[in-house]
Amino acid sequence: MRNRLLLCLLATLALSVGLVAVMAQDITGGGSLVRDITGGAALIFRAPQNPTVQTATGGGRVKPGRKPAPIRQQDTAIAKANAARSAPKPRYEEAEQQYQLAAQIAPDDARAFAGLGNVYVDQGKFAQAVDAYQKAIKVKPDYNGAYLPLAFSLARLNRYPEAIDVYKETLKRDPTSPEVYNNLSFAYNHSDRYQEAVDASLEAIKLLGETGEAYKQGFQERNEIRSYAYKNLGNAYNGLKRYDEAATALKKSSEIEPTNAAAHFNLGLTLYNAGRYSEAIESYKQVIKLRPNLPQAYFNLGLTYYAINDKPAAMAQYETLKGIDAAMAQQLYEAIKR
């Protein structure tokens, strides 16, 4: 039995759509993974639609010199804001000003606040988005368009208990949405509520169906959501230390998105924790094939080789890593030379 050795650094795996964070582990017998190894962003984002523009009640034309009715002023401002937000090169400052103007004209109309929230979400200003969406719901509790982006914004702020409550409220309005169940699973995982995360992921997968007939086409590709649902399922099983089931789910995710390096990376982590080192090695090789300059993949692969007492192969990863990340390579060298 090899001596006890800690993985000193797996750091953070930065990918195009998210982060994979891993902390120190004991590699003498597998150890346990840190929660939420998402394998890329596993939180689905359904871009919120612009608020609709109404027409003034009563019809007819406004006579010359007569001041437009407030509803017409309100809709004019919202229409301008919508156009600015939806422009090929969005004009967010203009959109924000027009939505704010609309809110001043008719502060009891939820559309202006929801539109303002959309502009903030587009720019990643999630705290401001939360405030705007909450105002929209306060004005009109049945304004359905505000709930999903509100929950997403809360999750992005790591306010997971609040996000869970809003996602549950959203399900009352749309109980067959795989996106909502997927994101609910994500929030449950971050709240250490792993069994509930498993249940939510399985429901998302069920709703998506093998043929996709149950899926309401939206802003995401069906396979993208299926892959995310399996990622969240794998994360939840990891939280429950059910590593073989986690590996099965993450393998399914990587099969659906075979070019997603993060899915293969997390599969490697999970297989390692399950003591399935040879399979973990193959997963890390796939990561390197997809991301040949990703230092964490070489680091993990080297340590996995060390776990099966293949020091020459571990040293080969060190030699390659020296040309990519010298500091990480030195840490790998110190680990495998003990």
**pLDDT tens by residue, 269-311:** 889 888 999 999 999 999 999 999 988 889 999 999 999 999 9
Task: Give the pLDDT confidence of 156-204 residue by residue, as tens digits.
Answer: 999 999 999 999 999 998 888 888 999 999 999 999 999 999 999 999 9
d(CA 125, CA 127): 6
d(CA 8, CA 296): 12
**Mean of per-residue pLDDT scores for the chain:** 81
- Whether 178 is in a domain gets the answer no
Assign residue 131 the CATH number of its domain.
Answer: 1.25.40.10
Rounded to the nearest 5°, which phi and psi values hold at 273?
Answer: -65, -25
The per-residue pLDDT for 154 is 97
Task: Give the pLDDT confidence of 89-99 residue by residue, as tens digits.
Answer: 999 999 999 99
Q: What single-letter amino acid sits at 146? A: A
- Please give the full DSSP string across 189-207, using - where no structure is assigned: HHTT-HHHHHHHHHHHHHH
- Whether 17 is in a domain gets the answer no
Domain that holds residue 109: 45-59+67-157
- Whether 146 is in a domain gets the answer yes
- Whether 305 is in a domain gets the answer no
- Whether 263 is in a domain gets the answer no
Number of domains in the chain: 1
- Whether 88 is in a domain gets the answer yes
Do 304 and 280 form a contact (C-beta atoms < 8 A)? yes
- The Cβ of residue 128 has, within 10 Å, a number of other Cβ atoms equal to 17
Q: Is the confidence at residue 13, as pLDDT, over 70? A: no
Decide the pairing of beta strands 12-15 and 18-21.
antiparallel
35: DSSP letter:
S
The per-residue pLDDT for 235 is 85
Dig out the tokens for 242 from the structure.
């059910």
d(CA 223, CA 225): 5
Q: Is the confidence at residue 126, as pLDDT, over 90? A: yes
- Whether 107 is in a domain gets the answer yes
- Whether 241 is in a domain gets the answer no
Cβ-Cβ contacts under 8 Å for 338 (sequence gap 6 or more): 3, 5
